[in-house]
Structure 1
Amino acid sequence: RRKGAAVTGVRGSSFYKIVYFFPQVLSIVIVALLFQFAYNPNSGAINSFLRAVGLGSVQPDWLGDPDLALICVMVVLVWSTVGFFVVLFSAGMASIPRDFYEAALLDGANRFTTFFKITLPLLWDTVQSGWIYMGILALGAESFAVVQIMTVGPSGGGPDYSTIVLPLYVYQKAFRDGQAAYATTIGVALLLVTLAFAAVVMKLGRRERLEF
């Protein structure tokens, strides 16, 4: 935010950081259980809210509908991890000298220009780290925990296998079906895919380092 030629930041940014980071202090098990109760079609908070606002005829079976279950799980995963990225990028932006923005504003630059000409280039290493961490989360144990706890079926992944994820598939093959060798092979392949993803991101995102 600009005041004259001074950069004052976003009003209430400290409060926003606390709100976004709050899920990070909770165990992923607690988060999954909270949302499991919220998604309950009979007594959950979401359907109760819909009834309260006169939408009682719209009562989805959130985790029991194959078309909705995966979306519901994705919402939980995004909500539980966004705080890390808020802190990551906030720390990166705090390290950028304010003089750069003040000089750009004096030259008549707008918010769009300062973002693409100053903020993004100086945060490029942080962007790379964020992409890599996002890939690790998507292929890691956090998705396993959320799906295992929230979804229906003998060992999660339902309904109709609509929410199955690779870590959960490895678990099912190893401990439910007794195919330890097959599960180990998939686990090693998952590790290689994660490493390959990180290498590709580093390769494609390589650019000249900007010093300030």
Structure 2
Amino acid sequence: MIIGVIFQRVYAPDDSGLLNGFLGLFGIDPVLFMASPGIALYAIIAVLVWQAVGFYVVLFSAGMASVPKDIYEAAVLDGAGRASMFFRVTLPLLWDTLQVAWVYLGIAAFDAFAIVQVLSVDQGGPDGATTVLGMEIYRNAFSYSQFGYASAMGVALFFLTITFAALTLRVSRREAIEL
């Protein structure tokens, strides 16, 4: 939620917005980031990526730190290059971390409601360009007073998220690598 409020100021449509102020320095007219159907979705995706980068850096840094240095030394002694070490040593040893990252990424994709609610114009952006499932549930409950329908949609979203997580873990399952 706080990230959404911060990026409201970044994407502000006048010169007080960080991006439009920067563009104004070069004589470029202000861009309506959240009011343009072609740009709004990409602007929200940029915010979601910026929000998640820190988490994934820490996740993969922890995974990389858990790989013993002896394995890399042995790979170098066996004549492995950088690409070979990445695909044959690092990636297989980070597979569990990669699985967790995919599951978190899927859950975050289904749960983009807060950022979209704060940033988008008119609950879902121009022409519905930024509408996500959570926004549709919110709209059905509080704009159309269809609480039962919204509740059913929420339960369906829950099961969709659980199914996605289970399928991701099932499809990406590999045998454990012993160190």
Which TM-score band applies after superposition, normalised by the shorter structure? over 0.9
Q: Distance in 2 between matches of 1:191 and 1:55?
A: 47
Aligned with residue 206 of structure 1, among 164, 173, 178: 173
CA–CA distance in 1 between the matches of 2:171 and 2:2?
37
Deviations 1:94-113 (A, max 9, x none): 01100111111122211111
Give the corresponding residue for 2:58.
87
1:133 to 97, 104, 116: 104
Q: Which amino acid aligns with 2:115?
A: V
Residues 1:176 and 2:150 are matched in the alignment? no
The one-letter code sitting in structure 2 at the alignment partner of 1:49 is: F
How many angstroms does 1:36 deviate by? Answer: 1.0
Q: Distance in 2 between matches of 1:198 and 1:31?
A: 26
Residues 133-191 of structure 1: per-residue CA shift (max 9 Å, x gap)? 11111112xx11111111111xx212121111101111111122110110011111111
Shift of 1:209: 0.7
- The alignment status of 1:117 with 2:84, answered yes or no, reads no
Displacement after TM superposition at 1:40 (Å) = 1.3
- Which of 14, 24, 45 aligns to 1:42? It is 14
TM-score normalised by L of structure 1: 0.81
Structure 1: segments with no counterpart, 5+ residues: 1-28
Determine helix, strand or coil for the equivalent of 1:64: coil
Task: Tell me how many residue pairs correspond in the alignment.
Answer: 178
State the superposition RMSD in angstroms: 1.2
Structure ranking higher in helix proportion: 2
The correspondence of residues 1-212 of structure 1 with structure 2, limited to 5 A, is 29-43=1-15, 44-52=17-25, 54-57=26-29, 59-140=30-111, 143-153=112-122, 156-212=123-179
User: How high is the TM-score relative to the length of structure 2?
Assistant: 0.95
Report the alpha carbon displacement of residue 69 of structure 1 after superposing the two structures with TM.
0.5
Q: Tell me the distance in 1 between the aligned counterparts of 2:8 and 2:61.
A: 31
**Offset at residue 55 of structure 1 (A):** 4.2
Give the distance between the partners of 1:203 and 1:150, measured in 2 at CA.
35
